[in-house]
Amino acid sequence: MIDKDDWRLSGQDKYLIDKKLYFKKWEPYKDNWDHDHCQFCWEKFSDFPGSLYEGYTTEDNYVWICPECFMDFKEMFHWTVELE
């Protein structure tokens, strides 16, 4: 179980509790965005080498969560994973 004082926690409970997430290839939220960050550890998502190419996201592609943080926080946040 993750400690409630984990360094990656910074208020995500205000908008990520009980969310439906989708595991998919990274897509920008807006056409002019070239990257996103994991909402917990700030790992970078993009099409650039060295970045994450896939992860968990909300239906609108606005919030991205890396696979490691998803595994660490899925029980605390009560996430469900949906198929596209």
pLDDT digits (tens, 9 = 90+) for 50-83: 999 999 999 999 999 999 999 999 999 999 999 8
42 confidence band (pLDDT: 50, 70, 90): very high
Q: What residue type is assigned to position 5 of the chain?
A: D
Alpha-carbon distances, residue 6 vs 9, 43, 54, 83 (angstroms): 6, 16, 24, 29
Q: What is the pLDDT of residue 84?
A: 74
Average pLDDT, the chain: 95
The pairing of beta strand 20-25 with beta strand 80-82 = parallel
Look up residue 65 and give its DSSP letter.
E
Check: CB of residue 77 under 8 Å from CB of residue 13. Answer: yes
Q: What is the pLDDT of residue 57?
A: 98
List the domain boundaries for the chain: 24-82
